[in-house]
Amino acid sequence: DIQLTQSPSSLSASVGDRVTITCRASQTISSYLNWSQQKPGKAPQLLISGASSLQSGVPSRFSGNRSGTDFTLTISSLQPEDVATYYCQQSYSSPLTFGPGTKVDIK
């Protein structure tokens, strides 16, 4: 099974700050890495697919990047509505797996 590790597990930042979350895969997954945002009591919402493709309707302050088996999600200017837990997920091979999540809140 492909393991995904995320760092940090939580972070607190100020409005307007640049925030970066890292996801590392235990083996190659090409670019089959997706990022989702989950707010409390809600279903996850896909933000980025294929490591760097922003989904329609997602603010442009969100971006994704890949370097080998390391992936990053960046929020260029943190907004209050970005308070949520962020999960990476690989769709390269079965069983599909999720990272443990990164909880983001406002300082």
Contact residues: another protein, CB under 8 A: 1, 32, 34, 36, 38, 42-46, 49-50, 55, 87, 89, 91-101
Of 4 and 19, the one with the shorter C-beta distance to another protein is 4
42 Cβ neighbours under 8 A, 6+ residues apart: none
Of 44 and 72, nearer to another protein (C-beta) is 44
- Of the candidates 68, 55, 72, 65, the one whose C-alpha atom is nearest the C-alpha of residue 29 is 68
Q: How far is the CB of 104 from another protein (least distance, A)?
A: 15
Rounded to whole angstroms, how far apart are CA atoms 60 and 74?
Answer: 10
Per DSSP, what are the bridge partners of residue 98? 89
The values of phi and psi at residue 64, to 5°, are -130, 150
The letter for the amino acid at 51 is A
CB of 43 to another protein, least distance (A): 4
Two structure tokens written together for 46:
């896909």
Least Å distance, CB 91 to another protein, is: 6
Q: Tell the smallest beta-carbon distance from residue 14 to another protein (Å).
A: 26
Residue closer to another protein by CB (options 65, 77) is 65
